Every structure is written in structure tokens, then in C-alpha cells.
Amino acid sequence: MRAAQIRRWPTVIAPQEPAEKTEKVLHEDVLDYISRPESVSLARNRAARLVGEWGEVQLTETTRLLVSELATNAVQHGAVRGRFLRVRITLTESVLRIAVTDARGERLPCEGVPASDDTHGRGLLLVRTLSARWGVGVLAVGKTVWCELDVTEGGAIPS
């Protein structure tokens, strides 16, 4: 059985909480996309470009990958005809937060263990590995899957 068939977004929410929201927002971008596969590349390229323009060049490729994974999951598992997915990128002095919202609040993400030969099922593993925190917020309609990168002086990810 393929990992994509094993994992059907059961009701499991990541245990982490977002970083404190007391810091001033330095930059923020919010854009809605049609929930189609072509939107993933638009979202990831826009996010990476903006993070670079905001002076966090060291985070651009990680941002590109994280937006790609979260947006792909939203398209594959959260799409509803006529509804959009929303990508929000927020930068404070210490955190870069990536949040992707889709219309399917009943389909919550769950990390699984894909078979070694499976071509799918590693997205949340990448999100967990590359980010400092990640989680899911359930909304009245839909959900937001988010992750955060800790930013140090100069924009480098702490080791």
C-alpha cells in the first residue's frame, strides 16, 4: 500500500504553538491563489523573492521549499471548488512565519512514514525538519497550516 493511501489527513494537530506574537511585524504579505497545482510555483517563487527583498537572503531557499510543501498540501488535500488558498508570510525581528490557509478544516495534516520507494508523503517531514515550529489552526471554515523559522541577527537560521 502506498503512503499516500495510508495517510488521509486524519485528525492530528501538531503539538507546537507559534512563537509569541508580541514582536512588531516588520514585513507581511498575504495573497490568495486559485487552488490549482500551477499556483504552487507562483506562491513559492513570490515568497522566496519577498523574503530576499526583506533582507533575509539566507532564508529564501528554505522559504521556497516550505511554501511549496504547504501549498501543495493545500491544493491536494484542502481544495474546494470556487475557494482559494491563502499564503501569508510574516517577518518579525526573530521569526519568519509561513501560513497557508485552505477551505477543508475537516482534513487535518498528519505526518506519516512513507515507503522508501514512494514519491509522495514527505512534505510534513520536511516542514518539521526545516522549521523551528509548525502546527495547524482550525478555523470556522477551513484550516491554516503554519511553520516558523527562527531568525538571528543577519538573517541566518540558528544551528
Highest mean pLDDT among 21-30, 52-61, 137-146: 52-61
**Domain residue extents for the chain:** 3-155
Burial of residue 15 (number of CB atoms within 10 Å: 0-12, 13-18, 19+): exposed
- What residue type is assigned to position 13 of the chain? I
pLDDT bracket for residue 157 (50, 70, 90): very low
pLDDT bracket for residue 87 (50, 70, 90): very high
pLDDT bracket for residue 95 (50, 70, 90): very high
pLDDT bracket for residue 4 (50, 70, 90): very low
pLDDT of residue 9: 36
User: Which has more confidence, 132 or 80?
Assistant: 132
What CATH superfamily classification does 3-155 receive? Histidine kinase-like ATPase, C-terminal domain (3.30.565.10)
Q: 137 to each of 43, 102, 113, 117, how far by Cα in Å? A: 20, 11, 23, 32
User: What is 91-128 written as a DSSP string?
Assistant: E-SSEEEEEEEES-TTS--------TT-SSS-HHHHHH
pLDDT of residue 112: 63
pLDDT of residue 115: 58
98-150: pLDDT as tens digits: 999 998 767 666 666 655 665 555 567 888 889 999 999 888 888 999 999 99
